[in-house]
Amino acid sequence: MPQQFDASTITNFRDLGGIALVGNSAVRPGLLLRSGQLDRLDLRADPSVAALGIHTVVDLRTARERRERPGRLPDGARLIVADVMAGMISERGDSPEDEAPARLETILGNPAAAEEHLGGGKAEKLMCDTYRSFVTSETACRAYHLLLATLAEPDCGPLLFHCTAGKDRTGWAATVILLLLGADEATVEREYLDVVPAVRAAFAPMTDRFTAAGGDPEIAGAILGVRPAYLAAALEEMRRAYGDVETYVRDGLGIPDEAVDRIRARCIA
């Protein structure tokens, strides 16, 4: 089973190590780590994180997110910026539709605007469309290419990938990696949904402020939630466009078979 770290300065920090794969194997611990943003990272307060020796951090956030909440790197770690949503959203952030899931605070800061743009089921539809774009958009493909290409490097070391909440862009990244390593879809979905308690706890104050100001709890739940329909939308899009994960990674993300072999050799126990 994957390890949910009790980290006080990182939201939603998990080790994918221990997840079961086909052939009576599992993901090797300590190599594939996922989380939310690192703007509060303090290794003195989180010695268990320091002990992992994280060598590479892949930041999946937008330029605006990185500017407003700069990440803190573990000592000696290198940073790889792989902006999944570059060009997919307005950097001006004029409307909520342009911003989810990258601009959570802006979306939930104005209940009236949220209702206008995201009420009546539009929030969930927006999230499903966003997940499909993780598969098909050129910017997302470039970002996930960079993540996997980095993971295939001989000197990659323990790698942490993250976005803001650690649930959407990061959730799809974890899904692709786990499928590539040989996890079945039921296992992948469990890992995707296992972050729900951490995400709910992290964003409870934001949700409470939104609903106290008259916001629709369904909008907050759709934007901040981790729902099976979102992952299903991305998987359906992957199958429609590529057939399977190997073809998606090779043809959609441009990762050659020999790089996939290196990833598997390192990450499968």
Residues noted as catalytic: 163
Phi, psi for residue 31 in degrees, rounded to 5? -115, -35
Alpha carbon distance 181, 100 (integer Å): 29
- The residues, any chain, with a CB within 8 Å of residue 56's CB and separated by 6 or more, are 77, 78, 80, 150, 156, 157, 158, 159, 160
Q: What is the dihedral of CA 126, 131, 134, 135, to 10 degrees?
A: -120
Q: Is the peptide bond before 74 cis (omega within 30 degrees of 0)?
A: no
* Residue 250: closest CA among 141, 137, 102: 141
Alpha carbon distance 62, 84 (integer Å): 7
